[in-house]
Amino acid sequence: MIVFLIKRLANAALVMLVVALMAFMIFRFVGDPIQLMVNEQTTQAERDALRERLGLNESVAMQYLRFVGNAVQGDFGISYRNQQEVMSLIAERFPATIELVLMATIISLVVGVPLGVITAIHRGKW
């Protein structure tokens, strides 16, 4: 049983790394994040300094490793669009997410349980 759990945890970790890689690469292909963060009057030196501060001048592999290492510690960085901490954005939207989850659960129970009972009563008749 312990071996089974270890294998399942290893598989889950691998899946999480692959999903993180896919998400990371999708945002890399969107374009230069510096363009989203600065206006047209920003000088090239200021752009380069911002790129250095955010670590965007490193190789993609190093950026990904830094991203995963920080994510494991709960640091998801700064949103390029909103220029706020990602965790604060998640925390801000968390109550609405919980509300949606609860409503979806209630609706699925209200619809699913009666349909399951009806199906069990009429088993083999449809």
All structural domains of the chain with their residue ranges: 1-84, 86-126
**CA distance linking residue 90 with residue 97, whole number of Å:** 9
CB atoms within 10 A of CB 47: 15
Backbone phi and psi for residue 116, each to the nearest 5 degrees, phi listed first: -65, -40
State residue 34's pLDDT score: 83
pLDDT greater at residue 125 or residue 120: 120
In the chain, what percentage of residues exceed pLDDT 70? 99
State residue 112's pLDDT score: 97
CB atoms within 10 A of CB 67: 19
Q: Which helix (H) or strand (E) holds 76?
A: none
pLDDT greater at residue 82 or residue 119: 119
State residue 12's pLDDT score: 97
Residues 28-76: tens digit of each pLDDT = 777 778 887 888 888 889 888 988 888 888 888 999 999 899 988 988 8
How confident is the prediction for the chain on average, in pLDDT?
A: 90
CB atoms within 10 A of CB 9: 10
Say whether pLDDT at 126 is over 80: no
The arithmetic mean of pLDDT across residues 1-23, rounded, is 94
**CA distance linking residue 106 with residue 112, whole number of Å:** 10
Q: How confident is the model at residue 23 (pLDDT cuts 50, 70, 90)?
A: confident
State residue 89's pLDDT score: 94
On whether the CB atoms of residues 24 and 2 are closer than 8 A, the answer is no
What distance lies between CA 98 and its chain's CA centroid? 16
